[in-house]
C-alpha cells in the first residue's frame, strides 16, 4: 500500500477545509514544479490559534498534509505553529512516499507564511531567520 490509512483518511475526509473571513493571518504558497497551491487562514486570539482553515488546490498528499497540519496547530500558541516542520506532518501521517515529501513542505510553508502575515499586520517584530526554509525535502534543497 503506497499510502497509510492516515493519509487516506485525511485525504478523503479532510479536517478544517474552508476559509476564514477577516482572518488574522493568511498564507499562500505554491510549488513551482507541480503547480499546486495551498492557502492557510488563521484566527488568533492572545497569541493562540483559535481557528484554522485551509484550501488546497493540489494533490491528495498536499490535501492530507494540510489537513493534518491544521489539526496540529489548532489551539496552539503561534510560536508552536512556527516550529511545525514538514517532517512532523509526515510522521503524523505515518509517512508519505519519498516523491510526495515535497507536498508536505507546502503545508509547513503555508503555516509559516500565515504566521508571518499575522506578524506583519500587527507590527510584531520577528527574526527573519524564523522564516528561513528549514524543511526536509530533496527537491527543495
- Give the nearest distance from C-beta 96 to ligand FES in angstroms: 9
C-alpha span between 72 and 2 (Å, rounded): 23
Of 16 and 66, which CB lies nearer to ligand FES in the complex structure?
66
Cα separations in angstroms, 100 against 10, 18, 24, 63, 77: 15, 23, 30, 12, 28
Q: Does 36 bind ligand FES (CB under 6 A)?
A: yes
* Catalytic residue flag (residue 59): no
Cβ proximity of 83 and 131 under 8 Å: no
Active site includes 103? yes
Applying the rule CB under 6 A, the residues between 42 and 61 that interact with ligand FES are 58-59, 61
Residues from 74 through 103 that contact ligand FES (CB under 6 A): 103
Whether the CA torsion 62, 28, 116, 128 is positive or negative: it is positive
- Name the minimum Å distance from CB 6 to ligand FES: 16
DSSP H or E stretch at residue 57: strand 48-57
Residues at the site binding ligand FES, with contacts judged by CB under 6 A:
31, 34, 36, 58-59, 61-62, 103, 106
Active site residues: 34, 103
Amino acid at each position: 500500500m503506497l499510502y497509510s490509512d492516515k493519509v487516506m483518511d485525511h485525504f478523503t475526509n479532510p479536517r478544517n477545509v474552508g476559509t476564514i473571513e477577516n482572518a488574522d493571518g493568511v498564507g499562500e504558497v505554491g510549488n513551482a514544479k507541480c503547480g499546486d497551491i495551498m492557502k492557510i487562514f488563521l484566527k488568533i486570539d492572545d497569541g493562540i490559534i483559535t481557528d484554522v482553515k485551509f484550501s488546497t488546490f493540489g494533490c491528495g498528499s498536499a490535501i492530507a498534509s494540510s489537513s493534518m497540519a491544521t489539526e496540529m496547530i489548532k489551539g496552539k500558541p503561534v510560536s508552536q505553529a512556527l516550529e511545525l516542520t514538514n517532517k512532523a506532518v509526515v510522521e503524523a501521517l505515518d509517512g508519505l512516499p519519498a516523491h510526495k515529501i515535497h507536498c508536505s513542505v507546502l503545508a509547513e510553508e503555508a503555516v509559516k507564511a500565515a504566521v508571518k502575515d499575522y506578524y506583519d499586520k500587527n507590527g510584531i517584530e520577528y527574526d527573519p531567520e524564523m522564516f528561513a526554509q528549514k524543511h526536509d525535502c530533496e527537491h527543495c534543497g
